[in-house]
Structure 1
Amino acid sequence: MREPLAPLETHVAVMTDGAEIILRRHGNVDKPRLMITNGNGFAVDGYRVFWEPLLEDYEVVAFDMRNHGQNKPAGGDGHNYLQFARDVGSVFEAATNRWGKKKTAGIFHSMSARSALKHAVQMGWVWDALVLFDPPSVPPRGHELYEPMRTFEHKLIEFACNRPDRFSSEEEMLALYREGRASQHWLPEAQEDMARAVLRKTDEGYELSCQRELEATIYLGALTLNLWPPASEAGGPVKLIGADPEMKGGITGRANQALGLEQGYDFDYVPGTGHLLQIEKPAECREVMLSFLHKSRDRLIADPSSLQHLRCP
């Protein structure tokens, strides 16, 4: 496995309930800031194939959501979407206070994308632009996609509760990713990065950084979040980038396509991808994201033609 990428600087941000989240500053500090984090049960360093190529042209502040990755365990009391939304505001404020105010986009995936949208709609807009990769958007009851999404979340609850959570080595976790049906489409480097990123060293070996029961509570919480807002309520430019809605089993892609069409979001999807699209086709995901950042109202990049090295071959 390749070694983790060393940050330029780290900073411990304190959340509203006292939990701590580690911010890692990478990249070009003279450029606009991207704040990037992970989905449920994963860790941001596992998305490195997506965000590492951005470091020449952006300052990247990478952080794990609470109870994930490099953060200390924070317990279950604050492990819910309301506190996650508050955390989004807290990490933005902490980065701004520590490293100064500048043009900043939030780049979120899955669970964190739902948290960022909840924060924007219910707590206030703070970004210059917001990019949401395949949030598990559950439509209102009665919608044709409600029951398929409900079934999907229940399957994930069962998976999380029954997944192995103790390992003798990082290679044991990597073997599960290589053998898994969903993770077999990840780039090989991403499989390695994620296997390292989701584990915490213990005296006996390794354990999942995010306790499997905490992971399961978020899948259940998705069904009661009631978050299907019009894009106009977000308060600023939002890009919704989904998994391929035509892929077999691609219910999250279909749900996000419906959210985009019905509620007025700037929506695209990346063909041939599942829910972990950023580590399946990272170049294509970057291309869609960069195109949006260029045309958003505050233009986080001056000219997309200057970033050809980040685009698809």
Structure 2
Amino acid sequence: MALEDGAAIRARTYGNQAGARILMSHGNGFAVDAYYPYWRQFLPDFELVIFDFRNHGQNTPANPPNHTYEQLTRDLERVFQTTQTELGAKPTIGIFHSMSARTAMKHAIEVGWRWSGLILFDPPDVPPPGHPNYAAMEVFENKLTEFARNRRRAFVSIDELTQEYLASRATRNWVEGEHELMARSVLRKNPSGDGFVLVCDPENEAGIYAAAVTLNLWPKAREFGGPVKLIGADPNAKGAPATAPANRALAIEGGYDYDIVEGGGHLLQIEHPAECYRLSMEFMTKHNLL
């Protein structure tokens, strides 16, 4: 589908067209195909529409990239409205992780409520300056920004990136087969030579991390136009990311329906797909969204 600046997003539809519709996307620098261990569980009962945000996954990188939260928010509105037009108007559940969860929050608060329900997995919520969790989140996002700016972008083969994921402590809890799936999902053939390059340029990834601390988005659950579920990383786990206590604070202060995935890190859906599915279904059942 065409976006307002000439970029395009490729959305894919799977599952049971007679079921409730789910619209789903991914985190910064990743791709929605890599979340298959989680979203495959919905296929028998739901109409599932998955898409990668601009400059990610199956999309051709945009030129200029316009890779900002402001643009991603407008892109989400375009994806939602186009889906309603082309597939037929239908109540839709939004399920989003990290960057896309933050985008969905911004979209719902600033553009409008479009959902029958919204499930947010570990969004990188940064509280206002002076909040007890602000400094930790600022450090967290700054470290990710620096990492992204300096990350390797070219690989001889998909297996080369797969092996990097397998050797990393940060990705050791991914389910079996996920390391290769992620590598296949975030790489594309190098258009100017042999091998592969990251679909999401490191500069674009870094820009999103850097922008996280400037969004000024710490809403109460009542500010949304419908039911919202917040599912976070485990703040009590060893080496828990700063997002875990930040989301716990947001949930307490904002009155959210909130759960953690015990032992879960930031990439919950590909570490604990069955538990994430269970929590998602529990929320949808509670609000009669099935």
Band the TM-score falls in, shorter-chain normalisation: over 0.9
Distance 2:137 2:239 in 1: 11
1:54 matched residue in structure 2:
42
Q: Percent identity?
A: 52
Residue pairs, 1:60-209, within 5 angstroms:
60-202=48-190, 203-209=193-199
Residue pairs, 1:217-232, within 5 angstroms:
217-232=207-222
Residues 191-240 of structure 1 deviation map (CA, whole Å, 9 limit, x = unaligned): 12111000011231100000011100000000101110111111111100
* Cα offset, 1:162, TM superposition: 1.5
Please say if residues 42 and 68 of structure 1, whose CA atoms lie closer than 8 Å, have aligned partners that are also in contact: yes
Distance 1:237 1:168 in 2: 46
1:7 matched residue in structure 2:
none
Stretches of 4+ aligned residues off by more than 2 angstroms = none
* Cα offset, 1:188, TM superposition: 2.0
* Cα offset, 1:113, TM superposition: 0.3
* Cα offset, 1:16, TM superposition: 2.4
Please say if residues 67 and 75 of structure 1, whose CA atoms lie closer than 8 Å, have aligned partners that are also in contact: no
Structure 2 residues not aligned, in runs of 5+: none
Distance 1:190 1:55 in 2: 19
Q: Does 1:260 align with 2:248?
A: no
1:249 matched residue in structure 2:
239
Distance 2:214 2:64 in 1: 17
Query: Per the alignment, in what secondary structure is the counterpart of residue 34 of structure 1?
Result: strand
Query: Per the alignment, in what secondary structure is the counterpart of residue 231 of structure 2?
Result: strand
2:200 to 203, 210, 215: 210
Distance 1:266 1:159 in 2: 33
* Cα offset, 1:75, TM superposition: 3.5
Residues 29-74 of structure 1 deviation map (CA, whole Å, 9 limit, x = unaligned): 1111111111000000000000012100111111001100010111
1:279 to 259, 270, 289: 270
Distance 1:60 1:84 in 2: 20
Please say if residues 41 and 277 of structure 2, whose CA atoms lie closer than 8 Å, have aligned partners that are also in contact: no
* Cα offset, 1:286, TM superposition: 0.5
* Cα offset, 1:14, TM superposition: 1.6
Distance 1:284 1:172 in 2: 30
Amino acid at match of 2:197: E
Please say if residues 170 and 206 of structure 1, whose CA atoms lie closer than 8 Å, have aligned partners that are also in contact: yes
2:229 matched residue in structure 1:
239
Q: Does 1:300 align with 2:279?
A: no
Query: Per the alignment, in what secondary structure is the counterpart of residue 169 of structure 2?
Result: coil
Q: TM-score, normalised by structure 1?
A: 0.90
* Cα offset, 1:159, TM superposition: 1.1
Residues 237-295 of structure 1 deviation map (CA, whole Å, 9 limit, x = unaligned): 11000010112332111100110110111111100010000000000000001100111
Distance 2:64 2:217 in 1: 22
